[in-house]
Structure 1
Amino acid sequence: MTLADDALNGDFTPIDGDQSDLMTIGFSLVGSPNTTAGSDNLPAKPNTVVSPVGAAAAAGVIAEGAANGTTKIDPKQLQPAWTMWHPWAGPPAATPQDIPVIAAVARLLAAPEVPIKPAYRDTIAGWDVPIETGAITQENLDDWVNKSTAGLVNKSGIDATRGDINFVLQNAITFAARWRERFNANKTRQSQFTKTTGETIMVDMMWLSRTTAPYTVSDGWRGVRLDYTDGELAAFVLIPDADPGQVTPTMLKQAVSQLCRPNETTGLVRVGLPKLRLTTKKDLIPFLQYLGLAGNIDLPTMTNANPVDITQAVQQAIMLVDEEGTVASAVTEVGGLAGAAPGTIPEQPIDIIADRPFYLVIGDVETGTPLFLSRISDPAA
């Protein structure tokens, strides 16, 4: 599947707070839940999926080249979010896997004329980001993306023909896992879903009629944690009682925390979850500008060829959720021109039915670190 022809979504909602917090980053990128208008007067897509981890890693690696105190983030705080997934390392897969796989790969491709300082090379090696020297061609970028995502994203979001880049940072993170308790495809049926506008539509709803799982029905949320086969990774399905537009990163983070293993309340629940096929192509330039990492900037720790003009930054993400499990992939790319001119079990199951706008977070069950964050307003879109 290709996202190359998707409209570039430039929505960015700056959120005050710790810019090293992944939920804050995710909310900033998901943007406004307004479903009537998008950026540049284009219709907004009702569903958005992003990888806060991919965006944070890209920003962190670039920030490693900046002087201390010149950006809004501390890259050392972001680095663990990229490297914590090593226990699930494996080749990228395009279908749900019996043993969950998280394939996280990255590289910095620099043209021969761009001098990269040895100290910077050593620093980003700690991020598992090797530096490659070579010609920056569209074919080179596309091939790396396609291979790194098992074809889930088959083209780069960077336009190498524009002539405004002589280095590109690329990272890709691909998740593939089967549910610990799979949905029965024979029980999937058309069911009502109420959109933010109050309009009801019919969607393909998957059902678990009676299952024991961590759940919450308090503090303005109905939610459930659906584990994948290893019991260490999960999908957090969280349905706010109020308007999704009133949800803050702190509120969602607290709701996810209630479902994490240290705080969980387990009970008998009935789960309804729409089948999902989400794609987003996000312009990250506004995000990087907010952090002080776009436009003409100095990266003295990275190179002597300053200033550096960050000219292109894109994240492409896809998430597929069905009865078997979940597949999600995100490619984050930043291109620039160096040297540029300036509980107890209830007797009856508790309904956790995602039949209105909801959030879906994929992360680990101990901390709920958001590997992927999605907001769904219209599963049929």
Structure 2
Amino acid sequence: MEKSKRQHLELCLTLHRAVASGGGNSCFSPYSVASALGLVSRAARGKAADELISLLAGSDDELTRQAELLLGASTLREDRGREKPVLAVSNTLWAWDQLPLNDEFQDELAGWPGGRVKSAPFVSDPEQARQVINADVAEITRNLIPELLEPGTIAPDAVASLVNALYLKAGWIHPFPEDRTEREDFHSTGGTRRALTMRQSEIFPYAARDGWQVVVLPGAGGTEAVILLPGGDLAEAEAGLDAATLARLLQEPHRTQVHLSMPKFDVDVRSLLTERLRELGVSEIFSPDADFTPLTPDPRLCVQDVVHQAVLRVGEQGFEGAAATAVTFRAVSMIIAEPVTVEVNRPFLLLVRHAETGVVYFFSRIVDP
């Protein structure tokens, strides 16, 4: 299990570097991307599958263990006396009704959280297919993502789309007092600005090592948010952050009295992953030579685009997030120490994750809250 958790962190950092290369705010869901691409790998054969397996897990056996890890993070426990957290997940294959589908793949899909097959009029009315998919994603994500697929993204030769959608809402075990929230300085590369900043003093898991301060904010249902605050410039600290270091940071915190201040924030980031995946060595799925015969006996399919969107809101009472990933296929021819003070008043990373499995629901960089 520890190896699988380390592999998951490797994927988190690889994707973070790919989608956050611009230097500003970023946010994506490793859970959503890994789910969608994991299903695509099961729909593929040969080089197309091998490239995805290499990115996601390194081996087919490890990919199976990664899928089990994601499954373990698909349910949350109920904490007696606390508001029940909400976690909704769907993995949907939207298919043209004349595209033949293999029973084996449909059985595979049924074993994933929210796995299902639904029909959409790709060939006869691509715009209607787009609207149908968007409406379903909007429902799963409580309308945080009302339009995952923008106009024109479903091409006339599109015949299917694998879509993962995720919604997560949980309260803090220790909410921030709203009357202590004030505008305070947040120091970023673009200068200092005033940001709504929450404050509280509480016993939290805390660590300081390898040039980072780590604070773990427990959430309801076995969720948690992990603040990773570098001692210096975030970009320089990120460059030296590998999976081994991140694993150490996540294992190190011990209960400490923490005087914590951190900004409220609301980020909404769309990522076009097609070119990012090519840069990471996943190119065969976009080729006319791709083999998707495990999905359909029709051999003339390849991936057109991979689109991802993530929304994350963090406030005094807790956090709310949504993410969706769409992979669209087209026809080829057809213990308590001294108190510490943590002032999150400069760029930082924040991970929202499932505490037991370590699966990261959201991986965000906050440069401008």
TM-score tier by shorter-chain length is: 0.7 to 0.9
Paired residue secondary structure (2:105): helix
Tell me if 1:223 matches 2:211. no
Q: Which residue in 1 is equivalent to 2:15? A: 26
Where does 1:354-369 land on structure 2 (aligned, <5 Å)? 354-369=344-359
Counterpart AA for 1:215:
Y
Paired residue secondary structure (1:53): helix
Where does 1:248-259 land on structure 2 (aligned, <5 Å)? 248=239, 250-251=241-242, 254-255=245-246, 257-259=248-250
Tell me if 1:126 matches 2:111. yes
Cα distance in structure 2, aligned partners of 1:55 and 1:181: 30
What is the TM-score normalised by the length of structure 2? 0.84
Cα distance in structure 2, aligned partners of 1:32 and 1:160: 24
- 1:273, distance to aligned residue in structure 2 (A): 1.0
Where does 1:184-195 land on structure 2 (aligned, <5 Å)? 184-195=177-188
| 2:71 pairs with one of 49, 64, 83 | 83
Question: Given that residues 91 and 109 in structure 2 are in contact (C-alpha distance below 8 angstroms), is that contact kept between their aligned partners in structure 1?
Answer: no
Change (3 A) 1:110 1:249: farther
Tell me if 1:201 matches 2:193. yes
Paired residue secondary structure (1:27): helix
Q: Which residue in 1 is equivalent to 2:146? A: 154
Where does 1:248-327 land on structure 2 (aligned, <5 Å)? 248=239, 250-251=241-242, 254-255=245-246, 257-260=248-251, 263-289=252-278, 290-292=281-283, 293-296=285-288, 297-327=290-320
How large is the Cα RMSD of the aligned pairs?
2.5
Tell me if 1:61 matches 2:39. yes
What is the TM-score normalised by the length of structure 1? 0.81
CA displacement 1:213-267 (0-9 Å, x = unmatched) = 101122110120001134x21000111123322315854663464344xx43111
- 1:308, distance to aligned residue in structure 2 (A): 1.6
Question: Given that residues 30 and 363 in structure 2 are in contact (C-alpha distance below 8 angstroms), is that contact kept between their aligned partners in structure 1?
Answer: yes
Cα distance in structure 1, aligned partners of 2:244 and 2:84: 27
- 1:167, distance to aligned residue in structure 2 (A): 0.3
Q: Which residue in 1 is equivalent to 2:125? A: none
Tell me if 1:104 matches 2:89. yes
Paired residue secondary structure (1:217): strand
CA displacement 1:57-107 (0-9 Å, x = unmatched) = 1111111122255423144243234322233299xxxxxx92222211121
Paired residue secondary structure (1:60): helix
Paired residue secondary structure (1:130): strand
Paired residue secondary structure (2:121): coil
Cα distance in structure 1, aligned partners of 2:233 and 2:345: 14
Question: Given that residues 88 and 103 in structure 1 are in contact (C-alpha distance below 8 angstroms), is that contact kept between their aligned partners in structure 2?
Answer: no
| 1:163 pairs with one of 145, 156, 165 | 156
- 1:287, distance to aligned residue in structure 2 (A): 3.7
Paired residue secondary structure (1:156): coil
Question: Given that residues 13 and 243 in structure 2 are in contact (C-alpha distance below 8 angstroms), is that contact kept between their aligned partners in structure 1?
Answer: no
Structure 1 spans left out of the alignment, 5+ residues: 1-16, 35-45, 91-96
CA displacement 1:260-279 (0-9 Å, x = unmatched) = 4xx43111011111010101
Question: Given that residues 23 and 249 in structure 1 are in contact (C-alpha distance below 8 angstroms), is that contact kept between their aligned partners in structure 2?
Answer: no
